């Protein structure tokens, strides 16, 4: 087990190292001069050179990468070109928004996707199963921004027109300020992401449950007279649910993409919106920062998922 | 025991003419099954209509008398400068600049289908090459390539994509590159798995004993066996590419305005959905119809190539 943990952590670190290297090459080695970006198009060569010197851009490349990596490891992601604030502080300031939506939608999609999958698997081919299949297909085909826009139109605009003001148009209220408003403002963004993602889980749960239902021990459980509920939820779900962990780890990368779009639609000041704003402003330290921050999050989460998986299923540890 | 008293049928004297029992390849069988699948045919019709819409976009523009970028400030906007809804002159209404939505929708189909087709072909090419190499050579090649696949799959790709766009600047080319960069992985993974089971089969051994080199074995002997999964995954990749392009355009980081794309039209619609529902509903319906059709077709193609999957399920 110790070897497995060590191997997994090392490979996670290697991944992060390679991502940092790629970002460094893309942003500092490729034909792209940060000093020119900071100085602006009208600056003289002397000014650009001065900035290059201050940023250490005149040093040899390996040395610069070493310094870049050292800074990143210490959590120093540099300063924004746009407002000169530390990048890490800016990202951490936006984190509560993104974390709120991510957590809320994850709870929602698991709470919808898994039961839909179980219901479908219990009677394959039934009306419920077909409805489940339609749900999956629609969910998989709806792009996040289309769902977001339609929800905004129907649940906010149409409902507000007829006097039902449950859903706000967007914006974010901190939890500490007003918990009720916080939840109310998160509803639509969370439904948006959950709608798109729940489909994957419904499909996966259905497939897993169908496979498990064919196992001998399920027949045994039924034969010894256990109630159907006990068979499905205790014996069946328990072994069907482990692969969902792996899927969850993989989906984090996807979730971050959905967050970028959702934050944009609902005007939520999260990390995704920060990234889009920075791209439009050409604020490179923030762009690099968000990518590295998000990668570190995804890689760490995947290592944790794998470790949790190994705890649940002894067979994984061997490979 | 082989029964010896069964009279052997001489093909020449068989009651059934040889022509009616012609051998059919698995692909022919799959196409036959696909043709009987009503959902698949309906999806194909939708896709065909989209392709026609894209092809005749200039015709629609000239027939409606509205060039794609022309702004109709007098007839296409209300006196308050807002877009007008569907009417005789503008069948699907106009956008915030008074441009004909129907014409723009048709031109948007060109971008979506172009990006979908080009990036799918490229992603299948890259994925097949990497998957073949990883599965066939094994050892360190496999270890490094598999690691590459897993790592790319776990990247926050939309953030990565927009950071690439920020370096190069938005445009059609970088959009395709970004899509390919992040969509070859599932293909490579599937191909690798298939190759692992194929490379030790007798026909590969036979080819090797006849002196075939690795290149020849991979391309001539193994590749034809991968057609079925490649067609299935390729079909399912198209809607993903279409959505990715629309997403980038929606964020303002895709194809540059004033080029008409569905994503950019939806981004405009997002600003004005309170007064102009048509600016959201029509492009959204177009994106949905296309992605749904490709997803359904992909499922149908998979079932057609692998009938056991369908028959195994109780009716």
Please determine, for residue B20, whether its predicted confidence score (pLDDT) is greater than 70.
no
CA B300 – CA B287 distance, rounded (Å)? 20
- The predicted pLDDT at position B129 comes to 93
pLDDT tens profile A40-65: 667 777 777 777 777 666 777 788 88
Cβ–Cβ gap A291/B156 under 8 Å: yes
- Whether B288 has its CB under 8 Å from any CB of chain A: the answer is yes
Residue B100 β-bridge partners: B94
- The predicted pLDDT at position A318 comes to 55
Shortest distance between the Cα of A189 and any Cα of chain B, in A, equals 15
Residue predicted with more confidence, A11 or A44: A11
Tokens for A107? Answer: 């709870």
Kindly state the percentage of chain B with pLDDT values over 70.
89
Residue predicted with more confidence, A274 or A237: A274
- Whether A267 has its CB under 8 Å from any CB of chain B: the answer is no
Task: Say which residue the tokens 């003289």 belong to.
Answer: A44
Cβ–Cβ gap B252/A280 under 8 Å: yes
Contacts of B147 in chain A (CB under 8 A): 11
Half-sphere exposure of A281 (CA within 13 A, CB side): 16
Contacts of A272 in chain B (CB under 8 A): 159
Average pLDDT over residues A256-260: 82
pLDDT tens profile B24-41: 777 788 888 878 888 888
Assign B311 a pLDDT band (cuts: 50, 70, 90): very low
CA nearest neighbour of B291 among B227, B226, B252, B244: B244
Q: Which residues lie closer than 8 Å to A37 by C-beta, 6 or more apart?
A: A81, A282, A284
Assign B174 a pLDDT band (cuts: 50, 70, 90): confident
CA A291 – CA B175 distance, rounded (Å)? 18
Q: Which of A140, A252, A291 sits opposite B163 (nearest CB)?
A: A291
Please determine, for residue A273, whether its predicted confidence score (pLDDT) is greater than 80.
yes
Task: Say which residue the tokens 């419904």 belong to.
Answer: A202
Q: Which of B251, B280, B314 sits opposite A276 (nearest CB)?
A: B251
pLDDT tens profile B179-234: 998 889 889 988 998 888 888 888 888 988 898 888 888 888 888 888 888 888 88
Residue predicted with more confidence, A313 or A211: A211
Q: Is A281 exposed, middle or buried (0-12, 13-18, 19+ CB in 10 A)?
A: middle
Q: Which of A159-163, A206-210, B53-57, B253-257 has the lowest mean pLDDT?
A: A159-163
- Residues B85/B238, Cβ–Cβ less than 8 Å: no
Q: Which residue of A has its CA nearest to B239?
A: A141
Q: Which of B156, B250, B292 sits opposite A294 (nearest CB)?
A: B156
pLDDT tens profile A261-272: 888 888 888 888
Cβ–Cβ gap A125/B151 under 8 Å: no
Shortest distance between the Cα of A28 and any Cα of chain B, in A, equals 11
Please spell the DSSP secondary structure of B148-178, one letter per residue: HHHHHHTS-HHHHHHHHHHHH-S-HHHHHHH
- The predicted pLDDT at position A141 comes to 80
- The predicted pLDDT at position A37 comes to 67
Please determine, for residue A91, whether its predicted confidence score (pLDDT) is greater than 80.
yes
Contacts of B263 in chain A (CB under 8 A): 145
Residue predicted with more confidence, B211 or B88: B211
- Whether A145 has its CB under 8 Å from any CB of chain B: the answer is yes
- The predicted pLDDT at position B314 comes to 41
Shortest distance between the Cα of A226 and any Cα of chain B, in A, equals 24
- The predicted pLDDT at position A24 comes to 83
């Amino acid at each position: 087990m110790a070897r497995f943990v060590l191997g997994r952590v090392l490979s996670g670190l290697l991944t992060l190292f390679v991502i940092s290297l790629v970002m460094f090459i893309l942003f500092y080695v490729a034909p792209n001069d940060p000093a020119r970006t900071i100085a602006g198009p009208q600056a003289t060569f002397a000014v650009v050179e001065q900035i290059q010197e201050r940023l250490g851009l005149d040093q040899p490349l390996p040395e610069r990468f070493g310094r870049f990596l050292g800074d990143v490891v210490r959590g120093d992601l540099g300063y924004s070109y746009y407002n000169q604030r530390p990048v890490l502080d800016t990202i951490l300031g936006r984190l509560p928004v993104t974390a709120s939506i991510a957590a809320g939608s994850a709870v929602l999609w698991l709470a919808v996707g898994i039961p839909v999958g179980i219901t479908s698997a219990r009677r394959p081919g039934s009306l419920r199963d077909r409805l489940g299949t339609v749900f999956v297909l629609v969910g998989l085909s709806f792009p996040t921004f289309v769902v977001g826009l339609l929800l905004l139109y129907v649940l906010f605009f149409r409902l507000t027109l007829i006097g039902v003001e449950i859903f706000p148009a967007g914006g974010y209220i901190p939890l500490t300020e007003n918990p009720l408003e916080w939840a109310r403002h998160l509803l639509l963004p969370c439904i948006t992401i959950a709608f798109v993602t729940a489909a994957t889980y419904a499909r996966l749960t259905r497939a897993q449950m169908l496979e498990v239902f064919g196992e001998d021990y399920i027949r045994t459980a039924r034969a010894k007279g256990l109630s159907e509920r006990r068979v499905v939820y205790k014996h069946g779900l328990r072994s069907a649910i482990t692969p969902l962990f792996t899927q969850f780890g993989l989906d984090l990368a996807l979730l971050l993409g959905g967050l970028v779009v959702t934050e944009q639609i609902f005007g939520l000041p999260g990390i995704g919106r920060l990234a889009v704003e920075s791209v439009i402003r050409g604020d490179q330290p923030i762009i690099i920062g968000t990518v590295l921050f998000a990668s570190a999050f995804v890689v760490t989460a995947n290592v944790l998922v794998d470790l949790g998986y190994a705890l649940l299923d002894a067979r994984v540890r061997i490979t | 025991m082989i029964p010896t008293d069964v009279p052997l049928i001489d093909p020449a004297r068989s009651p059934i003419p040889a022509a009616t029992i012609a051998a059919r390849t698995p692909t022919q069988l799959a196409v036959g099954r696909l043709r009987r699948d009503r959902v698949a045919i309906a999806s194909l019709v939708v896709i065909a209509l989209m392709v026609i819409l894209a092809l005749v976009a200039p015709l629609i523009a000239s027939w409606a008398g509205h060039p794609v970028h022309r702004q109709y400030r007098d007839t296409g906007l209300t006196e308050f400068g807002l877009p007008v809804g569907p009417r005789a002159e503008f069948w699907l209404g106009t956008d915030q600049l008074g441009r004909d939505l129907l014409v723009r929708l048709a031109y948007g189909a060109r971008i979506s289908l172009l990006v979908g087709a080009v990036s799918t072909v490229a992603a299948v090419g890259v994925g097949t090459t990497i998957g073949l190499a990883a599965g066939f050579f094994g050892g360190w090649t496999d270890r490094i390539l598999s690691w590459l696949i897993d790592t790319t799959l776990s990247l926050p790709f939309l953030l990565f994509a927009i950071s690439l766009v920020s370096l190069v600047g938005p445009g059609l080319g970088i959009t395709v590159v970004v899509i390919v960069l992040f969509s070859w992985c599932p293909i490579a993974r599937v191909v690798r798995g298939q190759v692992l089971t194929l490379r030790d089969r007798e026909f590969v051994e036979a080819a090797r004993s006849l002196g075939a080199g690795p290149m020849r074995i991979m391309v001539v002997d193994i590749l034809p066996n991968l057609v079925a999964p490649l067609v299935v995954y390729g079909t399912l990749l198209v809607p993903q590419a279409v959505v990715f392009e629309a997403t980038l355009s929606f964020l303002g980081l895709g194809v540059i305005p004033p080029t008409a794309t569905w994503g950019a039209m939806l981004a405009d619609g997002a600003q004005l959905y309170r007064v102009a529902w048509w600016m959201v509903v029509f492009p959204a319906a177009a994106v949905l119809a296309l992605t749904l059709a490709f997803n359904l077709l992909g499922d149908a193609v998979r079932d057609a190539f692998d009938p056991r999957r369908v028959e195994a399920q109780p009716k």
